[in-house]
Amino acid sequence: DGAPTKQTKKAAAPSKKEKKEAAPKDDDFEAPKEKKVEHPLAALNRTSPPKMKIDDWKVCYSNTKPLSKAMEYLWQNVDLKDYSFWFMKYNYNDENKKMFMTCNAVGGFIQRSDAMRKFAFGVMDVVGEEGGLIEIVGCWMFRGQSVEYMLDANPDAEYYTWTKVETLDDATKARIAAYFCNEDDLEGKKIADGKVFK
DSSP 30: H
Residue 59 shares a structural domain with residue 154: yes
What pLDDT is recorded for position 117?
Answer: 97
Residue 78 maps to a domain: yes
CATH number at residue 59: 3.30.70.1010
Residues 6+ apart with CB under 8 A from 79: 50, 51, 52
CA 41, CA 49: separation in Å to the nearest integer?
Answer: 10
Looking at residue 38, what is its pLDDT? 93
Instruction: Please state, in angstroms and as integers, the Cα–Cα distance from residue 173 to each residue in 4, 59, 142, 145, following that order.
Output: 83, 20, 16, 18
Neighbours of 11 (CB within 10 A): 9
Q: Are residues 55 and 32 in the same domain?
A: no
**Which positions ≥6 away from 191 have C-beta within 8 Å?**
125, 126, 127, 182, 183, 184, 185
Residue 116 lies in a domain: yes
Shared domain for 191 and 109, answered yes or no, is: yes
Residue predicted with more confidence, 20 or 155: 155
Q: Are residues 114 and 16 part of one domain?
A: no
CB atoms near residue 177 (< 10 Å):
18
Q: Is residue 167 part of a domain?
A: yes
- Please check whether residues 16 and 94 belong to one and the same domain: no
Q: Which of 24-33, 49-58, 134-143 has the lowest mean pLDDT?
A: 24-33
HEC sequence for 46-102: HHCCCCCCHHHHHHHHHHCCCHHHHHHHHHHHCCCCCEEEEEEEECCHHHCCCHHHH
Kindly state whether residue 46 falls inside one of the protein's structural domains. Answer: no
Sheet holding 134-143, edge to edge: 160-164, 83-90, 134-143, 120-128, 189-197, 185-186
Q: 101 pLDDT exceeds 50?
A: yes
Q: Are residues 3 and 74 in the same domain?
A: no
* 150 within a domain of the structure (yes/no): yes
For residue 96, pLDDT over 90 is answered with yes
Rounded CA gap, 33 and 38, in Å? Answer: 10
Q: Which domain holds residue 16?
A: 1-37
Q: Which residue type sits at 35? A: K
**Global confidence as pTM:** 0.81
In a domain, 132, yes or no: yes
Amino acid at residue number 81: K
- Predicted local confidence at residue 195, as pLDDT: 98
Domain membership of residue 43 (yes or no) is no
pLDDT at residue 70 is higher than 80? yes
What average pLDDT score do residues 9-35 get?
51
* Residue 192 within a domain: yes
Q: How many domains does the chain have?
A: 2
Tell me, yes or no, whether 60 and 123 share the same domain.
yes
